Chains A and B, each alone.
Chain A
Amino acid sequence: MADKVLMKGNEAIAEAAICAGCRHYFGYPITPQTEIAAYMAKKMPKIGGTFLQAESEVAAINMVYGVSATGHRVMTSSSSPGVSLKAEGLSYMAGADLPALIVNVQRGGPGLGGIQPSQSDYFQATRGGGHGDYRMIVLAPASVQEMASLTVKGFDLADQYRMTTMILADGTMGQMMEPVALDFAENKAPAKDWATTGTDMKRPHNVVNSLYLDPAALERVNFERYERYAYIEEHETMYEEYMMDDAEICVAAFGIAARVSKNAVNEARKQGIKVGLLRPITLWPFPKAPFRAAADRVHSFISVELSMGQMIEDIRLATECKKPVTLCNRAGGIIPSPEQVLEAIQQAAKNGGAK
Chain B
Amino acid sequence: MDTYKRLTLVCGHYGTGKTNVAVNLALALREQGLPMAMADLDIVNPYFRTKDSAARLEQAGIRLICSSFANSNVDIPSLPPDLYAITDDRNTHMVLDIGGDDSGATVLGRLAPAIREEDDYAMLLVVNGYRPLTRDAASTMEVLRDIEAACGLRFTGIVNNSNLGVETTADDVLHSVSYAEQVAQMSGLPVVLTTVDERLYPALEGKIPQLFPLRLQDNRIFLNE
Closest chain A residue to B136, Cβ basis: A1
Asked if residues A114 and B73 are in contact (CB atoms below 8 Å), the reply is yes
Select A2's contact among B14, B15, B166, B172, beta carbons within 8 Å.
B172
Select B133's contact among A42, A172, A182, A256, beta carbons within 8 Å.
A42
Interface assignment of A71: CB less than 8 Å from any CB of chain B: no
Asked if residues A337 and B167 are in contact (CB atoms below 8 Å), the reply is no
Asked if residues B166 and A6 are in contact (CB atoms below 8 Å), the reply is no
Q: Report chain B residues within 8 Å CB of A176.
A: 219, 222
Select B73's contact among A7, A39, A333, beta carbons within 8 Å.
A333
Select A338's contact among B15, B47, B221, beta carbons within 8 Å.
B221
Could you tell me the dominant secondary structure of chain B's interface residues? loop
Q: A6-B130, A113-B73, A335-B221 are in contact. List 18 more A-B contacts (CB 8 A).
A: A1-B172, A1-B176, A1-B179, A4-B167, A5-B132, A6-B15, A11-B132, A31-B46, A175-B45, A175-B48, A177-B15, A177-B165, A179-B166, A179-B167, A259-B221, A262-B224, A333-B73, A337-B221
Interface assignment of B131: CB less than 8 Å from any CB of chain A: yes
Q: Point out residues on A near B: beta carbons under 8 Å.
A: 1-2, 4-8, 11, 15, 31-32, 35, 39, 42, 108, 113-116, 171-172, 175-179, 182, 256, 259-260, 262-263, 266, 333, 335, 337-338
Asked if residues B167 and A15 are in contact (CB atoms below 8 Å), the reply is no
Given A2-B175, A42-B133, A179–B164 Cβ distance below 8 Å? yes
Interface assignment of B120: CB less than 8 Å from any CB of chain A: no
Could you tell me the dominant secondary structure of chain A's interface residues? mixed
In the assembled complex, the Cα of A15 lies from the Cα of B135 at a distance in Å of 14
Closest chain A residue to B219, Cβ basis: A176
Asked if residues A2 and B130 are in contact (CB atoms below 8 Å), the reply is yes
Asked if residues A2 and B73 are in contact (CB atoms below 8 Å), the reply is no
Asked if residues A259 and B48 are in contact (CB atoms below 8 Å), the reply is no
Asked if residues B130 and A31 are in contact (CB atoms below 8 Å), the reply is no
Interface assignment of B31: CB less than 8 Å from any CB of chain A: no
Asked if residues A32 and B47 are in contact (CB atoms below 8 Å), the reply is yes
In the assembled complex, the Cα of A137 lies from the Cα of B105 at a distance in Å of 40
In the assembled complex, the Cα of A179 lies from the Cα of B131 at a distance in Å of 9
In the assembled complex, the Cα of A39 lies from the Cα of B132 at a distance in Å of 10
In the assembled complex, the Cα of A15 lies from the Cα of B176 at a distance in Å of 22
Asked if residues A6 and B164 are in contact (CB atoms below 8 Å), the reply is yes
Select B163's contact among A6, A31, A116, A266, beta carbons within 8 Å.
A6
Name the distance in Å between A126's Cβ and chain B's nearest Cβ.
Answer: 25
A-B contact pairs, 19 of them (CB 8 A): A1-B179, A4-B130, A5-B130, A5-B131, A6-B131, A32-B47, A114-B73, A115-B46, A115-B75, A116-B47, A171-B47, A178-B165, A179-B166, A179-B167, A259-B221, A259-B223, A259-B224, A260-B221, A262-B224
Max chain A CB contacts within 10 Å: which of B48, B224, B225? B224
In the assembled complex, the Cα of A333 lies from the Cα of B47 at a distance in Å of 12
Asked if residues B165 and A6 are in contact (CB atoms below 8 Å), the reply is yes
Q: Mark B14-47, 1 if CB is under 8 A from A, else 0.
A: 1100000000000000000000000000000111
In the assembled complex, the Cα of A108 lies from the Cα of B223 at a distance in Å of 22
In the assembled complex, the Cα of A100 lies from the Cα of B176 at a distance in Å of 38
Asked if residues B129 and A31 are in contact (CB atoms below 8 Å), the reply is no
In the assembled complex, the Cα of A39 lies from the Cα of B129 at a distance in Å of 17
Asked if residues A172 and B222 are in contact (CB atoms below 8 Å), the reply is yes
Asked if residues A32 and B46 are in contact (CB atoms below 8 Å), the reply is yes
Asked if residues A4 and B164 are in contact (CB atoms below 8 Å), the reply is yes
Max chain A CB contacts within 10 Å: which of B129, B175, B176, B222? B222
Residues 181 to 225 of chain B near chain A (Cβ within 8 Å): 219, 221-225
Q: Report chain A residues within 8 Å CB of B14.
A: 35
Q: Mark B40-64, 1 if CB is under 8 A from A, else 0.
A: 0000011110000000000000000
Q: Report chain A residues within 8 Å CB of B46.
A: 31-32, 115
Q: Report chain B residues within 8 Å CB of A172.
A: 47, 222
Interface assignment of B160: CB less than 8 Å from any CB of chain A: no
Q: Which 6 A-B pairs have the closest CB atoms?
A: A114-B73, A179-B164, A175-B47, A6-B130, A5-B132, A179-B167
In the assembled complex, the Cα of A212 lies from the Cα of B46 at a distance in Å of 46
Asked if residues A2 and B164 are in contact (CB atoms below 8 Å), the reply is yes
Q: Report chain B residues within 8 Å CB of A259.
A: 221-224
Name the distance in Å between A282's Cβ and chain B's nearest Cβ.
Answer: 21
